[in-house]
Amino acid sequence: KFKEPDFSAVVKNARTASCRNPREVWSLFRIWKRSRTSISPEDILSSCDKMIKRYPELAILRIIKGNIEKSLKRYDAAARTFESALRCGIISGYDKIHIYNDLVKLLGRSGKKEKAMKYARMNIELIDSFTEKYSSGYITGRIYKKMKSYVEAG
């Protein structure tokens, strides 16, 4: 009934290893998330590296790279990439929530519990600051509960 989408026609002639702008990288990442066999993750990582050099303040490029590294089980590299995204000048608070969440998981998994705890506390503080103005959505609320549990379990 529901078949896997075929993106081969979309990416057949695309230069997946040398995107020209961040939007192309984002599009390839979205396609890759839906169909992991349609694009080489190494090609997207290569494009991310090129775009990061060109747009160093754009956090979303590092977020894409970190998510791919995480999917490839390159956990230490993913943690470093996510931490570098936090230093970017163009980053949304919502992106920070997800980065902190990923860092807590990655660092906790690698035995860096104190650092993971620091990011969990930072995430709680960030989400609290948003809920003063906005209601938290389902995903943010779920992340908030996980961070609170992590800190309480200490």
Helix (H) or strand (E) holding 149: helix 138-153
Residue 55: pLDDT over 90: yes
CB under 8 Å, gap of 24 or more: what pairs does 105-114 form? 106/70, 106/75, 106/78, 106/79, 106/82, 107/79, 108/150, 109/75, 110/75, 110/76, 110/79
Q: pLDDT category, 136, cuts 50, 70, 90?
A: low
User: What pLDDT, on the 0 to 100 scale, is given for residue 154?
Assistant: 82
Classify 48 as helix, strand or coil.
helix
Which tokens hold the place of 56? 């160093």
Is this model's pTM higher than 0.75 or not?
yes
Question: What's the pLDDT tens digit per position in 2-18?
Answer: 555 555 555 555 665 66
Distance separating alpha carbons of residues 57 and 90, to the nearest angstrom: 6
pLDDT score at 135? 65
* pLDDT tens, residue by residue, 71-82: 999 999 999 999
Residue that wins the pLDDT comparison between 100 and 133: 100
**Is the pLDDT reported for residue 34 higher than 60?**
yes
Q: Around Cβ 151, how many Cβ atoms within 10 Å?
A: 15
